[in-house]
Amino acid sequence: MRYCRILLPLLLLAGCAGLHPPPTQDVNLYLLDAQAPIKHAAVKRKLVIEVGVPRALPGFDTPQMAYVQQPYKLDYFAVNRWTDTPAHMLAPLLAQTLERSGAFRAVVRAPSAVPADLRLDTELVRLQQDFRVKPSKVEFTLRAQLVDLRHDRVLATRVFDETASAPSENPYGGVIAANRALQRILKDISEFCVRETEIP
């Protein structure tokens, strides 16, 4: 009886210990934070341009970092993520790039109380690290549409598609490559907006 009194609490403690969840791995968080080398516009337009809220196609509207190892199959890293969805991280970068171009009277982000003359709409089509090639590469595709709000018409639409080789075969290598690709896309989008609003 005495042994039972000693063993029973020990058995209960051992059973409860098995109920604790297994320790979780720390998640690594990464940023899209590229800055493009921008050529300052020769002429400042008397236009306010609004950067619309970027959208993303299914599969990429998530903070999870996507990669591919075989055709038509999208996978995600388990403990490596973006700090926010890539589409959300794009908005301030697009606005900063257009501001730095000096081409517009003002640059605002949607939603804004300031009436705008133009709106830049973007959609993330693809952002993935491709391990089917060595070295792996990041494929970054962004669709942009410039809308004239004064006349309710689309001025121009273009797809920006960039790839960049990863310096290492891991998620961090993909982050570096993604920012390199984004740097070129930001530069091209700025030039696209300036070119399409030139006065003939």
Domains in the chain, please, with CATH? 2-196 (3.40.50.10610)
Q: Where are the beta strands (DSSP E) in 38-190?
A: 45-51, 55-56, 64-70, 73-82, 104-109, 118-130, 137-148, 153-165
Residue 24: per-residue pLDDT:
64
Percent of the chain residues past pLDDT 70, beyond the cut: 87
Res 4: pLDDT: 46
Cβ within 8 Å of residue 53, ≥6 positions away: 91, 110, 111
pLDDT of residue 26: 87
> Of all residues in the chain, what percent are helix, strand and coil, respectively (each to 5)?
30, 35, 35
Question: Strand 64-70 vs strand 153-165: parallel, antiparallel, or unpaired?
Answer: unpaired
For residue 3, pLDDT over 50 is answered with no
Percent of the chain with pLDDT over 90: 78
Q: What's the pTM value of the predicted model, to 2 decimals?
A: 0.84
pLDDT digits (tens, 9 = 90+) for 137-149: 999 999 999 999 9
pLDDT, tens digit (0-9, with 9 covering 90-100), for 96-137: 999 999 999 999 999 989 999 999 999 999 999 999 999 999
Average pLDDT, the chain: 90
Cβ atoms 29, 82 nearer than 8 A? yes
